[in-house]
């Protein structure tokens, strides 16, 4: 996987399937579209992306044309650069989509004329289904905010009998309430459904909402989430900030009449099934200590003048040559080779930010680092140490990454450990995913893990644990 010290890079290879029968219903509509399943970028918390397909164009000039758009919701207003290719294998169709997104927006390509698309001999559909794949990468600037992250996920099944028992306008059913202890003792979330709520025009609708409860003194919580109903290809995503003790955010699903109509398939075999996925985010006020290991004692530090300068941008860091040699075979080779840096007693580092280099040097000098570290800070520090072969920092960072493992970052750390061949961290990630599976703990962006690994995790959950 490609890495950069200046920005986050998130590769993705995702596919969406749409039924021809569902698209046919929108063939003559104006601006009618279907949304595909919502996916989440594994190392950019809150970034949602999905395909939106218009079988009759998205505006007046495009009527009679079939268009597909890659839609993105960008967290905290950051600009997201997307470089990707959209393709449909059954027709050898492909289109390059390079675009800069901000907030919620879409960018796409025309597939073909609607007549060709829906023709009985059309190759776009195989067994009544079109499969759209998108392969590419997202790029964005690193966030300076340290956040506490809580993945949310739930599949809720409700019987038709229970739904029909709540037909008054104010009646609703609430799912099991899930506590969020890492936020506060009072933080929680649940799903609420109103089977017969009156909208602004006094029409009976089915309302579907995510309800979030906060502590009275708790700071606001940012939410990026989606509801999906597989039986009707319903997908709806949200970005919302919860600020009150108890508040909700949701949408109207359909009319109450359609909801209970068997032919509409909202309720299948007497059961309504709703899926929730997403992530909640709250500002992190906790500090983490990155403990020193020291390559030079304070006494010897006072005796000798620092004889080497590292320049990062318009800033500089003074350091002892011997400390660099002791810490890094790469530095030692450079300083003993007669290269320009060893003669001029200085070097320029262009591919890492000042803060990362400064932290590394401080760790050489018995200086504990106390700050709001993000996972991205630690990963950058590891990349710096890996480039310059600083084993002591690589081991220290790996230790802290293992301690920081959580449902919100385990997929990101699993992929990082694969790319940098960090064996111990990689195995800890797999073991952590197995435990999450056994305990039905929501994991953020689990779709990003390759199917072979997910299969291994599933098999391990089906085995008896001889240690327990």
DSSP string computed for 249-273: EEEEEEEHHHHT-GGG-SEETTEEE
Determine the Cα–Cα distance for residues 218 and 188; give it in Å rounded to an integer: 12
Helix (H) / strand (E) element for 343: namely helix 340-344
pLDDT at 408: 95
The string of pLDDT tens digits covering residues 428-449 is 999 999 999 999 999 999 999 9
Residue corresponding to tokens 């003074």: 318
pLDDT at 299: 46
39-40 and 65-73 as β-strands: parallel, antiparallel, unpaired?
Answer: unpaired
Residue corresponding to tokens 């953020």: 444
Among 114-123, 217-226, 282-291, 397-406, the range scoring the smallest mean pLDDT is 282-291
Among 77-81, 203-207, 386-390, 460-464, the range scoring the smallest mean pLDDT is 460-464
Share of the chain above pLDDT 70, in %: 94
Determine the Cα–Cα distance for residues 148 and 218; give it in Å rounded to an integer: 13
pLDDT at 170: 81
Binned at pLDDT 50, 70 and 90, residue 78 comes out as confident
Q: What is the mean pLDDT of residues 439-461?
A: 89
- Structural domains of the chain sorted by starting position, each given as residue range(s) with its CATH number in brackets: 7-141 (2.60.210.10), 147-283 (2.60.210.10), 288-403 (3.30.710.10), 410-461 (no CATH)
349 has pLDDT over 70: yes
Triad 411, 414, 419: Cα angle to 5°: 130
Residues 6+ apart with CB under 8 A from 261: none
Triad 343, 348, 351: Cα angle to 5°: 145
Q: What is the mean pLDDT of residues 46-65?
A: 93
The string of pLDDT tens digits covering residues 167-198 is 887 889 999 999 999 888 889 999 999 999 98
Give the number of other CB atoms < 10 A from CB of residue 262: 10
Determine the Cα–Cα distance for residues 95 and 70; give it in Å rounded to an integer: 12
| Adjacent-strand bridge partners of 14 | 134
Q: What is the mean pLDDT of residues 155-173?
A: 92
59 has pLDDT over 90: no
Contact of 160 with 167, CB cutoff 8 Å: no
Determine the Cα–Cα distance for residues 171 and 163; give it in Å rounded to an integer: 10
pLDDT at 468: 55
pLDDT at 284: 83
Token pair belonging to 323? 């400390």
Binned at pLDDT 50, 70 and 90, residue 287 comes out as low
234-242 and 221-229 as β-strands: parallel, antiparallel, unpaired?
Answer: antiparallel
Higher-scoring residue by pLDDT: 350, 3: 350
Contact of 422 with 400, CB cutoff 8 Å: no
Residue corresponding to tokens 């056994």: 438
Q: What is the mean pLDDT of residues 120-124?
A: 92
453 has pLDDT over 90: no
pLDDT at 292: 61
The string of pLDDT tens digits covering residues 288-306 is 777 665 555 454 555 578 8
Radius of gyration of the chain (CA): 26
Q: What is the mean pLDDT of residues 240-245?
A: 90
pLDDT at 31: 84
Determine the Cα–Cα distance for residues 432 and 410; give it in Å rounded to an integer: 8
Helix (H) / strand (E) element for 65: namely strand 65-73
Contact of 209 with 169, CB cutoff 8 Å: no
Token pair belonging to 256? 């109450």
3-state secondary structure of 67: strand
89 has pLDDT over 70: yes
3-state secondary structure of 283: strand
Nearest CA-CA partner of 146 in 240, 291, 243, 282: 282
Triad 38, 39, 45: Cα angle to 5°: 120
| Adjacent-strand bridge partners of 65 | 113
3-state secondary structure of 150: strand
pLDDT at 421: 95
pLDDT at 42: 95
60 has pLDDT over 80: yes
Give pTM, 2 decimals: 0.90
Among 45-49, 84-88, 288-292, 411-415, the range scoring the smallest mean pLDDT is 288-292
């Amino acid at each position: 996987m490609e890495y950069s010290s200046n920005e986050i890079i998130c590769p993705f290879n995702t596919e969406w399937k749409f039924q021809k029968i569902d698209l046919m219903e929108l063939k003559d509509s104006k601006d009618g579209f279907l949304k595909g399943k919502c996916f989440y970028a594994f190392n950019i918390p809150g970034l949602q992306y999905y395909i939106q397909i218009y079988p009759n164009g998205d505006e007046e000039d495009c009527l009679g044309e079939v268009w597909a758009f890659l839609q993105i919701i960008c967290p905290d207003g950051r600009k997201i650069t997307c470089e990707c290719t959209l393709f449909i294998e059954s027709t050898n169709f492909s289109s390059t989509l390079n675009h800069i997104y901000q907030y919620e927006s879409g960018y796409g390509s025309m597939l073909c004329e609607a007549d060709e698309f829906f023709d009985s001999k059309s190759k776009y559909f195989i067994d009544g289904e079109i499969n759209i794949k998108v392969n590419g990468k997202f790029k964005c600037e690193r966030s300076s905010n340290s956040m506490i992250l809580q993945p949310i996920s739930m599949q809720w099944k409700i019987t038709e009998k229970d739904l029909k028992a709540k037909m008054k306008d104010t009646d609703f059913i609430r799912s099991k309430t899930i506590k969020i202890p890492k936020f506060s003792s009072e933080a929680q979330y649940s799903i609420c459904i109103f089977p017969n709520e009156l909208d602004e025009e006094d029409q009976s609708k089915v309302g579907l909402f995510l309800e979030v409860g906060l502590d009275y003194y708790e700071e606001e919580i940012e939410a990026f989430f989606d509801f999906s109903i597989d039986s009707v290809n319903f997908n709806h995503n949200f970005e919302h900030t919860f600020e009150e003790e108890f508040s909700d955010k949701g949408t109207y699903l359909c009319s109450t009449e359609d909801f209970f109509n068997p032919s509409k398939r909202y309720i299948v075999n007497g059961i309504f099934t709703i899926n929730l996925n997403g992530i909640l985010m709250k500002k992190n006020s906790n500090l983490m200590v990155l403990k020193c290991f020291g390559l030079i004692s304070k006494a010897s530090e006072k005796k000798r003048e620092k004889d080497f300068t590292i320049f990062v941008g318009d800033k500089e860091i003074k350091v002892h040559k011997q400390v660099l040699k002791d810490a890094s075979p790469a530095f030692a080779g450079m300083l003993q080779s007669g290269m320009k840096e060893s003669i001029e007693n200085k070097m320029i580092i262009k591919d890492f930010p000042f803060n990362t280099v400064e932290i590394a040097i401080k760790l050489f000098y018995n200086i504990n680092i106390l700050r709001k570290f993000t996972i991205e800070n630690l990963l950058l520090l590891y990349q710096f140490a890996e480039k310059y072969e600083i084993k002591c920092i690589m081991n220290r960072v790996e230790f802290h990454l293992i301690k920081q493992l959580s449902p919100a970052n385990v997929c990101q750390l699993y992929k990082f450990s694969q790319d940098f061949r960090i064996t111990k961290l990689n195995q800890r990630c797999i073991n952590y995913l197995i435990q999450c599976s056994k305990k039905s703990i929501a994991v953020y962006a689990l779709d990003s893990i390759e199917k072979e690994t997910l299969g291994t995790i599933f098999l391990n959950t089906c085995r008896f644990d001889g240690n327990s």
